[in-house]
Amino acid sequence: MLLVISSSTSQYPTPAWTAQKKGSKKKKLSKGKLKANQTEKKKTVRAKPKLANNPVAKTEGGTTLVVPQKETDHRWGQCLPEEVLINIFEMVVIQDGAVPFLCRVGRVCRLWNAAASSSVLWRKVTVGYCWIAPGKSQLPKTEKKIKETFNWLAENRLSQLRSFSLCHWKNNVDYAVEVLSQFCPHLRSLTLSYCTGLTARAFHIVGLHSRSLQSINLQHSEFQVEGLLEYLENHGSQIKHIWFTHGLKYDRLLTAITRGYCPDLELLEVNTNLDSKDCELPVCIQALQMACPKLKTFRMLNVRPRHKTVRTGGDSTSGFPLLEELCIATTSYSYLTDRDLWDILFGSTRLRVLDLRGCSRITPLGLAALPCLELECLFWGQYFSSHVGLSSPKKGIHMVTQKRSQTLQQLDIVNQLFTEEDLEIAMSYLAQANERDALRSLNLSGTRITPPALRTVISQVTALNYLNLSSCRYFPRGLKRIYRGQEDIQQLLDKLE
Question: Could you say which DSSP state residue 496 is in?
Answer: H
What is the CB-side half-sphere exposure of residue 76 using CA atoms within 13 A?
5
Residue 34 CA to residue 300 CA, distance in Å, equals: 95
pLDDT tens string 222-277 = 999 999 999 999 999 999 999 999 888 888 899 999 999 999 999 999 998 877 77
| Higher per-residue confidence, 50 vs 288 | 288
- pLDDT value, residue 369: 95
Percent of the chain with pLDDT over 70: 79
Q: Which residues of 59-68 are buried (b: 16+ CB within 10 A; e: fewer)?
A: eeeeeeeeee
Residues 6 or more apart whose CB falls under 8 angstroms from that of 106 comprise 112, 113, 116, 117
Residue 170 CA to residue 94 CA, distance in Å, equals: 27
Average pLDDT value for the chain: 83
Shortest CA distance to 304 belongs to which of 324, 276, 325? 276
CA quadruple 332, 335, 337, 342: dihedral positive or negative?
negative
Does the bond joining 100 to the residue before it have cis omega, within 30 degrees of 0? Answer: yes
- Residue pair 397/364 in contact by the 8 Å Cβ criterion: yes
Provide mean pLDDT across the span 465-481: 94
Q: Is the pLDDT of residue 23 over 80?
A: no
- What CATH fold (topology level) applies to the domain 78-122? Monooxygenase (1.20.1280)
Residue 469 CA to residue 311 CA, distance in Å, equals: 49
Confidence label for 71 from pLDDT (cuts 50, 70 and 90): low
Secondary structure of residue 76 in the 3-state scheme: helix
pLDDT tens string 429-464 = 999 877 667 899 999 999 999 999 999 999 999 899
Terminal-residue alpha carbon distance, the chain: 67
pLDDT tens string 125-153 = 999 875 556 566 778 888 888 899 899 99
Secondary structure of residue 438 in the 3-state scheme: coil
Q: Is the pLDDT of residue 4 over 70?
A: no
7, amino acid identity: S
CA quadruple 484, 490, 493, 494: dihedral positive or negative?
negative
- Residue pair 411/443 in contact by the 8 Å Cβ criterion: yes
360, amino acid identity: S
Percent of the chain with pLDDT over 90: 59
Confidence label for 46 from pLDDT (cuts 50, 70 and 90): low
Total Cβ atoms within 10 A of residue 42: 6
Residue 24 CA to residue 267 CA, distance in Å, equals: 79
Question: In CATH, what is the architecture of 406-497?
Answer: Alpha-Beta Horseshoe (3.80)
Classify residue 88 by burial, with Cβ atoms within 10 Å: 0-12, 13-18, 19+. Answer: middle
| Higher per-residue confidence, 129 vs 471 | 471
pTM: 0.80
Q: Which range is least confidently modeled, 168-182, 187-201, 281-295, 387-401? A: 387-401
How do beta strands 353-355 and 325-327 pair? parallel
- pLDDT value, residue 273: 81
Residues of the chain with CATH 1.20.1280: 78-122
How do beta strands 163-167 and 64-66 pair? unpaired
Residue 202 CA to residue 218 CA, distance in Å, equals: 13
Q: Is the pLDDT of residue 3 over 50?
A: no
286, amino acid identity: Q
Provide mean pLDDT across the span 461-489: 93
pLDDT tens string 72-99 = 555 666 678 889 999 999 999 999 889 8
- Calculate the CA 77 to chain-centre distance: 33
DSSP assignments along 138-151, one per residue = PPHHHHHHHHHHHH
- Calculate the CA 218 to chain-centre distance: 16
Residues 6 or more apart whose CB falls under 8 angstroms from that of 221 comprise 192, 193, 194, 195, 196, 198, 245
Shortest CA distance to 149 belongs to which of 130, 123, 124? 130
How do beta strands 304-307 and 297-300 pair? unpaired
How do beta strands 466-468 and 482-484 pair? antiparallel
312, amino acid identity: T
